[in-house]
């Protein structure tokens, strides 16, 4: 089973911006109902796309610098990074099919 990376303000530069593969970052918080609904979907995406994309989760309550830098206002927000740049964004709860489509677009772009 693939484990999503736990991302922090401290490791974001290296693990996301410096990654050789595309990275999907799930910005979430413990108290957020839609975030909790999205969590197993993100886990399945990580599992299904092993080797194609890195999946990480960032708790916005514990890390405020990075979400602020990327203008995260509503959670859950998924940001897709490629070569250190944001290439796609999904805000709010989405089904696995929509997220997988976005992953496929980012990976093949």
The verdict on whether 87 is a catalytic residue reads no
Q: How far is residue 108's CA from residue 13's CA, in Å, rounded to a whole number?
A: 23
Q: Compute the Cα dihedral for 42, 17, 81, 106 and give only its sign.
A: negative
Q: Which of 5, 35, 41, 54 is catalytic?
A: 35
- Non-local (6+) Cβ contacts of 5 within 8 A are 15, 54, 55, 56, 57
Q: Which of 5, 7, 32, 45 is catalytic?
A: 32
The verdict on whether 35 is a catalytic residue reads yes
Q: How far is residue 108's CA from residue 23's CA, in Å, rounded to a whole number?
A: 13
Q: How far is residue 33's CA from residue 92's CA, in Å, rounded to a whole number?
A: 11
- Enzyme catalytic residues: 32, 35
């Amino acid at each position: 089973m693939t484990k999503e990376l736990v991302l922090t303000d401290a490791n974001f530069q290296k693990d996301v911006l410096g990654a050789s593969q595309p990275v999907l970052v799930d910005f979430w918080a413990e108290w957020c109902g839609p975030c909790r609904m999205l969590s197993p979907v993100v886990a399945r995406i990580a599992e299904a796309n092993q080797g194609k994309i890195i999946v990480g989760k960032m708790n916005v309550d514990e890390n405020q610098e990075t979400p602020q830098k990327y203008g995260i206002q509503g959670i859950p927000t998924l940001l897709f990074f490629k070569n250190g740049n944001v290439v796609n964004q999904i805000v709010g709860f989405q089904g696995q099919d929509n997220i997988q489509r976005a992953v496929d677009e980012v990976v093949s772009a």
